[in-house]
Amino acid sequence: MGNILNSGSSNSTPNKLKPNNLKSKKKDIDSFLKKVKQTPKTPALIDRENGRVIFAMDATASRQPSWDRACHYQVEMFNATQNCGGLSVQICYYRGYGEFEASTWLSNSKSLQHTMAAVFCLGGFTQINKVLQHALEENKCKKVSAVIFIGDAIEEDPAKLRQIAGQLGMLKVPVFVFQEGNDRDAAETFKQIAKLSGGAYSLFDPGSASILADLLGAVAVYATGGSTALSEFSQLKSSSIKQLLQQLE
């Protein structure tokens, strides 16, 4: 694994969800959270003390605004798991031409935010294959509870990505994919990665970026406590996630 590179990053303020898009955005998130809630929990994940989540992102040139938003909202992952047990998160990203980096495992929001703030995006091609392969290797060292991936495109062989996703599924390492943008070809492969690994997929755009915090929190809660903890988490929330999860009852 490489070391996180130091550089500055810009701050951006997420756009608010427009009223005329609220219904469609809620439908997308509703579907995603339903899949998360229905994802089976294995004994191996229940027994361990800490949930281990790989938080992977596309850090190519167009992704800086998304990176800044994720940096801002990642705090929800730790806040949401306070009643579920500990959480450890590893940041992974790819950028440039063949550059793939992974941080150490971090156990608090401040350290994670500091690490993410040191990253700047750089032009290049997607390397989702390296993200999935890395998850396989990390899982050999110690059980990985879930992988979160945020990206907008795929420039690799979909068949190879599906194959690795299937391997992760056999190992009970679900991949939760958040797609930004409207690339239909990418969406199809992203959905297959999520399905084959036992995870879930959600499409969102800058207009619904504020929901990202709740989605990250939902996956983190699932990773540390399973479906039961996720249901309890929804009862503690007064934001949109509670309203959405109530529709799943």
Domains of the chain: 47-246 (3.40.50.410)
The token pair that represents 227 in the structure block: 């479906």
Q: What is the pLDDT of residue 75?
A: 75
Residues in the chain: 249
Amino acid letter, residue 155: E
pLDDT band of 203, cuts 50, 70, 90:
confident
Query: For the chain, what is the mean pLDDT?
Result: 76
Stretch 20-46: mean pLDDT: 58
Q: Taking the model in full, what pTM does it have?
A: 0.75
Cβ burial of 242 (10 Å; 0-12, 13-18, 19+) is middle
- Rounded CA-CA distance 194/226 in Å is 17
Instruction: Tell whether the model's pLDDT for residue 122 goes beyond 90.
Output: no
Q: Is the pLDDT of residue 230 over 60?
A: yes
159: pLDDT confidence band, cut at 50, 70 and 90? very high
Higher pLDDT, 158 or 84: 158
